Structure 1
């Protein structure tokens, strides 16, 4: 005859992660369903991103315009460098073109900053899994507007489970 004890308990993932967007917005895709297996990097939810796409497009256009000005300034500088050596133009004219080229370089550099920021904001409209996981809870639905930092989904990462039992202080 064997002695056995029956206990009730729960199994929990060793590591659970609550995912939230870094932006407020309306969920247009996802979240994944409870029980879904999720791979690292997989998109689990997406926010409406029209504003972020438009901001990226505008920043890309500004950068392209700044690059066009730089290209023209470089072409002018090369032309005037040859003419300045032959003394066909004044050195002051050459210095003006050189200044224009330096200014155009700075404008290209400056135009890249808003583009980087706009691309980061666009990236925040996508919620990705941080590790191979299983969806254990869903806190929002498609069509719902969520605040910045509001939990959208909870993932249990693969890699271990812990068992918790309700046991009496003294076992028979």
Structure 2
């Protein structure tokens, strides 16, 4: 309330007392109403300076052009390079002993199982006796033929008789050859009772059962030849021209050590060959990638990886510069006046803390400045304050 208002009211009342009573009462009422309206009127707003709005301080980084390797991402199964099927070569022999099991590393010629050879050894002895008999008969027939050959010159025997002796000698020699062949066959049967590995490798399957008698050709063991595995990467038909033999490749494995967290492991390989046939259902072809030996690798795994197909230029920004807006990746550029402008972009390759921007950048992208630190708090059209620049590398900018 202003300090002059009370004295003014007193002055008016003192002057009204000099008037006649009815007029004085009326004047006092009017004066009271005027002063009451004056007191109840709102005071004029004071001119106070409005506080300036605080601006968000952001860090910026320019767009960089770098040479990055081109990679083709694919997925596929891990499979043996080659498999060896070890089968029974003798019919009807039971398995007498098993000396290898699944997971064993075996060498070429190593004994895997032994079949019962009792009957085979008996057959072998009989074949030897038959050969000895045939050899004796052949020798006797040859001696007889030699004796009668001289008698035919003196005319003691007819030509027909001489021909019969020659025929008997030939038949005896043939019987000896047949007996020798039977002996070799029995020797091979005896050797086949020892089931050995044709090449070094890892036992991936065992069909041999102790005491069981299998037929000829039944599989006893299956080996991963030389323990070599390969990645059969599935390549879409439109990407096939980019893949060729000899290209480097890398697969990613997730393994969990005992009492430890999941760990990522990378394995380097090389494309051995590219398949010429496409799958009828998926229209994908297979690229066969040779892989190094690893205890974490198992046949049958389904893994993801990438094949290096060359190198090309890439427009990259730190990962911090990329934010999500309406479910899409976006970046903010800063104008000369400090206004943030939203650009929805398409991302490409990643390398460390850097990401490639494939599309969506403004026309003057190489001259523009992009928000890195603080990009998640910026809105389209916001005024921002750019932090003082500091000499840092692009990698440092991406990891801050």
Per-residue deviation, 1:73: 1.1
Q: Is the 8 A contact 1:26 1:146 kept in 2?
A: yes
Question: Aligned runs of 1:1-172 on 2, under 5 Å?
Answer: 12-22=79-89, 23-87=91-155, 89-91=156-158, 92-141=160-209, 143-148=210-215, 149-158=217-226, 160-163=228-231, 164-166=301-303
TM-score (norm 2): 0.35
Which residue of structure 1 lines up, in the alignment, with residue 252 of structure 2? Answer: none
Structure 2 unaligned runs (5+)? 1-75, 232-300, 305-400
Give the Å deviation of 1:158. Answer: 1.1
The CA distance in 1 between the partners of 2:117 and 2:149, in whole Å, is 47
Q: In the aligned structure 2, how far is the partner of 1:109 from the partner of 1:155? A: 38
Secondary structure in structure 1 of the residue aligned to 2:134: helix
Aligned partner of residue 146 in structure 2, secondary structure: helix
Contact 2:98 2:208 survives alignment (8 Å): no
Taking the aligned partners of 1:150 and 1:97, their CA distance within structure 2 comes to 49
- Give the TM-score taking structure 1 as reference length: 0.72
Question: When the two structures are aligned, how many residues end up with a matched partner?
Answer: 158
The residue number in structure 1 matching 2:281 is none
Q: Report the CA distance between 1:62 and its aligned residue.
A: 1.1
C-alpha separation between the residues in 1 aligned to 2:164 and 2:92? Answer: 48
**Deviation larger for 130-139 or 114-123:** 114-123
Q: Larger C-alpha radius of gyration, 1 or 2?
A: 2
How many angstroms apart in 2 are the aligned matches of 1:118 and 1:83? 42
- Conserved in 2, the CA contact under 8 Å of 1:66 and 1:104? yes
Which has more helix, going by share of residues? Answer: 1
